[in-house]
Amino acid sequence: MNRALAAALIVAAVPVVAARQPLSEDDVLAWAREHAVTLHGQAAVIVAEEHSRQEAIAFRLPSRSRAAPPPGPMRLARLITGDLILMRLPGAPGWLTLRDIYEVDEEVVGERTDRVLNLVIESREAALAEAPFIYDDAGRHTLGNMPRVISMPTLALVALHPGYAARFRIRPRGVERIDGRTARVFEFEETGRPTLIPGPREAPFPLSGRVSVDQADGVILKTVTRASAGRLMTGTVTVTYARDPRLEAWLPVRMQDQYRQSGNPWNYRGETTYTNYRCYPEGADEPAPGKC
């Protein structure tokens, strides 16, 4: 299976629940698991504008050539703008993440036709069949040759999904403060094999990380996802959530990712923001005016 496609098969948006007294540790985890399943109301499709700055950093070694530039850090950068599309999988649990890139380094890429979104709205079955090609098309704009296979803003929530309970070990890890809120922290570790996402050369690429859940109302505030294929490749993705007033849901607003790969002198990192969320109810070809 296409590694990027495998990484995107379970994604989630987090609905708002009514404020209440602080929940017990078990209750917080139960709420978080429910969010990983129910997503945002009755939405079949959720769309956001995605603005990403990608960087690659390496160190130029000294050279004996007089014509060579002096040793020191080297930097490359790229700006990418597009749509992030979360699509409920037809006839199966879970969601698929797709990207439609329409601007690179402030230059328009082709014509802005909303091709991917229109395909998803017209037929999710057809979009699922086209997913590998959609991923390849979006991936060709990525800086360098580093496959950012875990850079899905809601990927960490797969660890909370009851359908994958046997695959992940979940352990409480105390509390932390996030923007004035008290969050209970749960660490996760993928123990099932083969791993959900294959690594380089089909090596195991197990997921691990942490999910921070508000202990007062059970909403997701922050996630950290890591994956490692030994010395071949490592990646870390940190996602911050905030409440979207229009959809009345807690959704990803910022994602930071970084990758290292064996034999590649470049270190890759990026920062992405998400704005202008819209949701499409089942069967709708126009977004809902508010929450779904």
pLDDT in tens, the chain (292 residues): 566 665 555 454 444 444 456 678 999 999 888 877 766 667 889 999 999 999 999 987 666 676 667 767 889 999 999 999 999 887 665 678 999 999 999 999 877 789 999 999 999 999 999 999 999 999 999 998 778 899 999 899 889 988 788 899 999 999 999 999 999 999 999 999 999 998 887 889 999 999 999 999 888 999 999 999 988 899 999 999 999 999 988 899 999 999 998 888 899 999 999 999 999 998 899 999 988 8
pTM metric for this prediction: 0.88
Give the Å distances, CA to CA, from 6 to 10, 65, 150, 198, 268.
9, 46, 9, 8, 21
* Confidence at residue 222, expressed as pLDDT on a 0 to 100 scale: 97
Q: What is the DSSP string of 157-195?
A: GGGG-GGGTTTEEEEEEEEEEETTEEEEEEEEEE--SS-
Question: Selecting from 3.30.70, 2.60.40, 2.60.120, 2.50.20, what CATH number does the domain 3-59+74-281 have?
Answer: 2.50.20
Contact 101, 109 (CB under 8 A): yes
Residue 8, token pair as written in the block: 């995107």
d(C-alpha 256, C-alpha 272), whole Å: 6
Q: How many Å apart are CA 158 and CA 95, to the nearest integer?
A: 10
